[in-house]
Amino acid sequence: MKQILLSATVVGMGLAWLYHFYQILTSGRVYFHEPNAFILWSEITGIAMLTGYGAWCFISFLRRK
């Protein structure tokens, strides 16, 4: 189950980065605008949690080898 979540996290973050770089390539810039502060902070918190979980899984996987 951990490997599935780790893979989904890595794939999701990779797709998000590709989308942002594509936006930079086509328009020259990326704009982030979220008028609701609660939604903005929950998105930031969610991304931070996913990144932390991905890093934790990656480090624990490297330690096992």
Confidence of residue 38 (pLDDT cuts 50, 70, 90): very high
Q: Is the pLDDT of residue 22 over 80?
A: yes
* pTM of the predicted structure, to 2 decimals: 0.59
CA distance 53 to 40: 20
Q: Where are the domains of the chain?
A: 2-64
* Residue 16 pLDDT: 83
Q: Which of 59, 63, 51 is nearest to 9 (CA)?
A: 51
Instruction: Please compute the mean of the pLDDT values over residues 36-63 and round it to a whole number.
Output: 81
Q: Is the pLDDT of residue 37 over 80?
A: yes
Q: Is the pLDDT of residue 50 over 80?
A: no
CA distances to 5, 18, 28, 31 from 9, in Å: 6, 14, 27, 23
> CB under 8 Å to 7, separation ≥6 — which residues?
none
Distance of CA 59 to the CA centre of its chain: 17
* Residue 27 pLDDT: 85
